[in-house]
Chains A and B, each alone.
Chain A
Amino acid sequence: MRRENNLKKKASVYAIVICTILITISFSGCQQQEDGKITIKNPNIFVRYDIGDAKTLDPADAYDTGSSEPIFQIYETLVTYKGNDTKTFYPCLATEWSVSNDSLVWTFKLRENVTFSNGNDFTAEDVKYSLDRVLIMDAPESGVSWILAQCMDTNSTTVINEYEVQIKLTNSYGGFLALLPYTVAAIVDKEYVEEHGGVVAGQENEYMKLHPMGTGPYMLDHWTRATELVLVKNPNYWGGWEGKHVDKVVLKYADEAATRILALKNGDADIVYIPYANLDDVKDEKGIVVHPFDSYDVVMCVINTKASNNQYLADGQVRKALSYAFDYDTAIENAYNGYASRFAGAIPKGMPFYDTQNNGQSFYNYDLTMAEQVLDDAGYTKSYDLDGTLYRFNGTTIRIFYNAGNAEREMMAIMFRSALDDIGILSSVIAEGWPQLLHRMYTTDDWDLMFIGWGPDYNDPDDYIFPFIASADVGGDTYNTGYVNETVDDYLLEAKYTAVSAIREAAYKNAYDIYIQEPPFVFLQQRQYIRPWRDWVQGYSYNPVREWYYYDYYKAYE
């Protein structure tokens, strides 16, 4: 009898356990609809999980991605980009524009019946005030005012009438129109700014940092640092709210990749940032879309060409050999999980004049035999004996630096060291913190190779090729490579200071043909941009210059 009771008890326990497991399984993951699709969470709220909080919401002093993103939703510019099109300038607050024959005077007709989210009218006075404000404030926190200061001063903008402005450039600049869609050229409400601190030369406006007011589709609801920034519909938006849009946009900041992945999987997030190495965690997941886009984010191995640091790297032939010694394709596969493409020269794919670089084809491919040949021909033969192995450069070690914590660059640095060893060049890989690397690069000059990246400010090749290739003497050489070729400088200056496309094209081509033979960089990859999203997200497209535009997005199954 007792045995029977025990058996019954055991059976009850098993039944409870099995029921619990079944209930657990039925609950697991996201809730499903009758048609088998997962129920859309928060259908009127678009939620994005990413890293990197905003620093400021004042467009006159914003120069980081975290800040630019909400500013792009709150403020608007005279011209803009749409969807994934980087080739065309679209009207925004300006409806049409024209330029004088000498490319110096630009005239913009402005959109009428536009109001800021506080109800104030948008007029030409606001345009002049906004552009002058950037130049007077001079972006004390970020220095971003340089973008306008390249070709404008406070006398440049003139109000013609209530809905027309003229901008007279201080010098002709080929990339002028491309500057205007950037956040620094966003239009603020003159009356509102004047009520809240106005413009003081060389000083940031603390109020505007936290209280933005623009003509864009969304306006700030609240911003809790390191947590979230929430935008809500601007009821006065001139574009109107016909069609499908979300009511609210929530930008969540989460440092931990695993948290962001789970947020996407359980439907809390509509779109998230996931590092390349973790993409496999969501790639085949039901209801999640992983789609790469070509971006303008590029990665290079910068070469210190100053003979005072390393006499060998000062020789263009050695740099050429280094370009043959990097295994580009394997690096793309291993470091970027395949989500990158070759970076052919200083102008990234997708930008105007990209094809001036060897018709868009990479000049160098991985070829250790060719690398050895170039070195031998230049007289750098193997002669230094180390444990029975012969090395070049009298055993001088090439030091390869990367910023600690960057797994992709670490992997590439190690690969490069191995390849250099194969062609008889001693090398070492060193990781340092970002501020230490900057100190090394700009203060000590004590480095040989450094893995580093660059992202776009605006959609013009001058934003890449000039800081990379032009010498410090003419205001280039951002990476302190020490590379100087006066002929190349002349071509780059010619391309910079003209708006005539044919002249720019020829100048960029001529510059490329010279510098690629003595490259101050090993041009590595152009990374692909991937933000996995839930399949209920509609209207999302990626533009490398203007990543996000929430007005176009909505949530539905279609």
Chain B
Amino acid sequence: MKTWEFIIRRLFLLIPVIIGVTIITFTISHVIPADPARAFAGGPKAQPEVIERITKELHLDEPIWIQYFYYLNDIIHLNLGKSYLESRPVSESLAQYFPATIELTIFAMLIAIPLAIVGGIISAIRRNKLSDHLTRIIAIVGYSLPIFWLALMMQYTFAYQIPILPLEGRLAIGMNAPSSITGLYVLDSILTGNLDTLGSALYHLIMPAFTLGFATLALILRMTRSSMLEVMGTDYIRTGRAKGLSERTIIYKHALRNALIPTVTVTGLAFGGLLGGAVLTETIFNWPGMGRFAASAVLGFDFNAVMGFTIIVAIIYVVANLIVDVLYAVIDPRVKLGGG
């Protein structure tokens, strides 16, 4: 099977995945006896006509399967409905929050991936030496530290005790965001030639990106180390050494390429996971991303917002898995896509 055929087939699989995800999420969110219409209309102060209007808009007076039918119909028409907590269409909220999360995730990964892979290689080739112990300690610490604690400590240290980094947010207090082209402030600042916002956006990314990247770094580092160790013990590496190949050629040309397959899997899934939003990091650093949005939507029974978020996350996971599968074939030509 050709690569493009494989990609199209997998993309078609998105449809049943999304239907399945919406059925599960819709059912879970709607079976709990609650009165979201009254909550959105102002709680005890709600006026009857407003409650009635919201009830009609959300079809809350219909059986659940009819509500789901309406919802699916809206989705087909690319209408994710209205977020009652934010009093605007869900698509508008997602258009604001998703780029914020993408930006944070990309920078977290830019920190995590190179450090983790280099650290993993060093750790593997200098096994049981000081550098191995150090990288393993970093990995264990990164893996075990609760991310909220790390985030709070980072803030306390670098925004209060040694105030060299901004405490929170995406830009300096009161600064106008760059004209929205992609919603990624760094990219938009470059595209619009706005150096002030570019500097501010990068400056504000340092702490949250490092915090988010640290846990991922630990995961990738451990995976790289263990697969490198496994590969370094194989016959073809010994053969390479016997042939007199340089250590650099053995490590980077033969060992690393084979060791990267599990690393790519882990990285891809971690990337997908982070794109779904990191609730704690986003909340502590006041980063207006998907995680914060989803958490408040769930707590506020904002059905449409929860469903919109869920669909986006489902798509992200499917696409992330697809990219990982394609990368397998790129890294290792022996891998055939589509199992053919």
Contact = CB atoms under 8 A, between A and B. Distances in A.
A434 B302 CA distance: 12
A266 B160 contact: yes
B301 A435 contact: yes
A230 B176 CA distance: 9
Contacts of B283: 255-256
A478 B50 contact: no
A434 B288 contact: no
A56 interface: yes
Interface residues of A, number: 62
Contacts of B173: 42, 45, 47, 228, 250, 252, 268
Contact of A259 (B35, B36, B284): B284
A222 interface: yes
A269 B38 CA distance: 34
Interface string A44-69: 01010000010110000001100000
A374 interface: no
B163 A250 contact: no
Given A225-B93, A435-B38, A140 B159 contact: no
Interface stretch (B40-48, B73-81, B261-269, B314-322): B40-48
Interface in B128-177: 152, 155-156, 159-164, 167-170, 173-174, 176-177
Interface in B79-134: 86-88, 93, 96-97
Contacts of B168: 254, 259, 263
Contacts of A24: 161-162
B336 interface: no
A452 to B, nearest CB: 7
A224 interface: yes
A311 interface: no
Nearest to B161: A28
Interface in B272-315: 283-286, 288, 292-293, 296, 299-301
Contact of B162 (A27, A225, A230, A262): A27
Interface in A400-454: 405, 433-436, 438-444, 452, 454
B215 to A, nearest CB: 18
Contact of B43 (A222, A225, A263, A438): A438
A35 B177 CA distance: 37
Interface string A192-229: 00000000000000000100000000000110111110
A262 B285 CA distance: 11
Contacts of A143: 41-42, 46-47, 49-50
A435 B36 contact: yes
A466 interface: no
A435 B42 CA distance: 11
B242 interface: no
A265 interface: yes
B34 A225 contact: no
Nearest to A247: B174
A228 to B, nearest CB: 7
Contacts of A63: 42, 45
A227 B34 contact: no
B87 A266 contact: no
B265 to A, nearest CB: 33
B152 A258 contact: yes
B32 A436 contact: yes
Contacts of A31: 163
A330 interface: no
B87 A141 contact: yes
Contacts of B39: 434-435, 438
B198 to A, nearest CB: 17
B35 A435 contact: yes
Given A63-B42, A262-B167, A255 B33 contact: no
Interface in A13-51: 24, 27-31, 42, 45, 47
B53 interface: yes
A31 B164 CA distance: 12
B163 to A, nearest CB: 6
Interface in A218-258: 221-222, 224-228, 230, 248, 250, 252-256, 258
Interface string B18-46: 00000000000000111110110111111
B302 to A, nearest CB: 10
A435 B302 CA distance: 10
B160 A29 contact: yes
A55 B87 CA distance: 6
B42 A262 contact: no
Contacts of A254: 168, 286
A42 B173 CA distance: 9
A479 interface: yes
A45 B44 contact: no
Given A28-B162, A142-B42, A56 B32 contact: no
A266 B288 contact: no
A248 B174 contact: yes
A228 B50 contact: no
Interface string A336-380: 000000000000000000000000000000000000000000000
B163 A266 contact: yes
Nearest to A248: B174
Given A55-B86, A230-B174, A436-B32, A29 B161 contact: yes
B177 A224 contact: yes
A78 B39 CA distance: 32
A146 interface: yes
Contacts of B96: 224-226
Nearest to A25: B161
B224 to A, nearest CB: 31
A225 B288 contact: yes
Contacts of B44: 438, 441, 452, 454, 467, 478-479
Contact of A444 (B33, B46, B288): B33
A262 B301 contact: no
A56 to B, nearest CB: 6
Interface of B: 32-36, 38-39, 41-47, 49-50, 53, 86-88, 93, 96-97, 152, 155-156, 159-164, 167-170, 173-174, 176-177, 283-286, 288, 292-293, 296, 299-301
The 3 closest A-B pairs by CB, nearest first: A143-B47, A439-B35, A435-B34
Given A143-B47, A227-B286, A252-B286, 17 more contacts: A28-B160, A30-B163, A55-B86, A64-B42, A142-B42, A143-B46, A209-B87, A222-B177, A228-B169, A250-B174, A253-B286, A433-B32, A435-B35, A435-B301, A436-B34, A436-B35, A438-B44
28 contacts: A28-B160, A28-B162, A42-B174, A45-B173, A63-B42, A63-B45, A140-B53, A142-B41, A142-B47, A143-B46, A143-B47, A143-B49, A222-B177, A226-B292, A228-B173, A228-B174, A250-B173, A254-B168, A255-B292, A258-B155, A259-B155, A266-B159, A434-B300, A435-B38, A436-B32, A439-B34, A439-B38, A467-B44
